[in-house]
Amino acid sequence: MPENPERVLGIENLTFGYSKEKLLYRNFSLSLHAGEIVTILGPSGSGKSTLFELIAGNLKPMVGRIERASFSQVFQDPYSSFHPTYTIKNQIEDVADISGIGSLCEEMGVNPVLLEKRPHELSGGQLQRASIIRALLMKPKLLLADEPTSALDNLIQLDVMKLLLKTLDKVGILMITHDRDLAKWCSDRIVELDT
């Protein structure tokens, strides 16, 4: 981690629930800095994805404050995060400057020719790598990774995580997973949620 790293996410005393009777978060606080990977671990229904919705601003806290730097997301299902009828490259160009795309493709082990294809023409692993390339070209300071390897087999899973960890000189990563071994292997800190 760099010296005096920038704080890219600050959550203070967050309280949220879909009803006042069943709160998912009560006085929850979390701080994340550039160069750090923090993993949110918990079973289905514990509020992992809700936390990302709150950070992204799609939901409003009942109480508390969330401050975040510029962010982008890597979603659990790469097929649903790309439009089926446009090429991958078109969809990356829509949201990001693609001037650094060649070197990023090389780093991620993606043949640039694949980006000229439509999502259904790529494997799950190729598409998830393309998803990471898109997220990084948006030049975020905070990367939200929602179960980024759950749709992949074990070998590709390891590759994709190694690629994500390579980006830590540029970003802070907040990752959601239910995979305890993965969390222990890659995280600086683990935050466990209960249902």
Domains in the chain: boundaries: 1-70+140-195, 82-139
Chain centroid to CA 65: how far?
21
pTM: 0.90
R_g (Cα) of the chain, nearest Å: 17
Q: Give the closest residue to 193 by CA, choosing from 30, 9, 8, 18.
A: 30
pLDDT in tens, 39-75: 999 888 889 999 999 999 999 999 999 999 999 999 8
Residue ranges of the chain with per-residue pLDDT less than 50: none
User: Looking at the chain, which runs of residues are DSSP E strands?
Assistant: 7-19, 22-33, 37-41, 63-68, 71-74, 142-146, 172-177, 189-192
* Percent composition of the chain: helix, strand, coil (DSSP 3-state, to 5): 35, 30, 35
CATH number of the domain located at residue range(s) 1-70+140-195 in this protein: 3.40.50.300
